[in-house]
Structure 1
């Protein structure tokens, strides 16, 4: 069996007239646009995380409030049940033990007071614990949201600065490559016209620039793009131009 061929990504054809030396940089620009898109997507995800943290804070506060209400209601029901049970026991004992009624009433009153005091203490403790927990959780969530916003702000600022620097470097690189590709052709055309004695086109003056100054300008442009040497085609053309057009003495 023949090996299955891997699918290839479709690539748009290059426009006519683009030099081959510039076509290889189209992939670099495509990568820059993709990286910019990924970084923008990361910032959007961080914003979504911030929104989720805000919703979690609101949900936590609502849950704490609901829990406090449920606990308070449950304790109130227990208190009512205890009181009802105490009153029921008191009534039964009053009918059964007439002689001990006075002492039992006093004891039951004391028990009721102690139970109510304990229930009140328990309710206060639970409410205080819930309030303290809610305050701590809200503070933690608030700190988390603030840290997340600060992180998003710093990251967005860094991404914007990096993207501007990166695109500026790519623009300078493309300008330098276009310059080093087009300038030798212009020099050769001008020198050929001088040798053959052809007249220049209308509204066109032959180049009279100093070739040494041109080489220095190309060196400065190359140093901006990260290369220090003059391309071989520019150096050869500049040398030939100096020999063909010696400087006047």
Structure 2
């Protein structure tokens, strides 16, 4: 009688431990499943456009805010990091004194702080090439900035950002005065149009499914037969 009770208790214990083990395995598998939310909200590539204002910080007084336009292409290296190439067209002016059109070609490394969320701040920095209209005056430059993005619909994000541009020339405003080179700021509101996320998500889930199936087959082969 005592032996039967011991066997019954051992059987219950085995069943409980087996259930706990299976539950733990399921939890591990769920937690190990790749996070693909980024590819639902955004994507591996993006075209972006923006419209805003630019203002110079040079050798004259009374700088004036002028029109600024941007169009670019962004390639995601990881959900957090992307490489962004952009064409920027803008004017720099002083009230009643100076107004000149410029363009710049910028290459930035951009960091998205919360890539799996609809709302995320971002920062960027890089280098570029600055030129006046018809390339009368050209100079290299470095730039950096920050902004915020909100995904209003899957693959479409609205953004607000500002950047600071340091040009390796003191003649941006037509004068060479002072000890430092000229700089300017740009502020803009725009949109990112993402694409390529569905393809990347499908590949990740396919690779994950193949890995799970391979592990399952290996486990079945290694499991001792009773």
The normalised TM-score by structure 2 is 0.31
Greater share of strand: 2
Q: Which structure ranks higher in relative contact order (CA pairs < 8 Å, sequence separation ≥ 6)?
A: 1
The normalised TM-score by structure 1 is 0.29
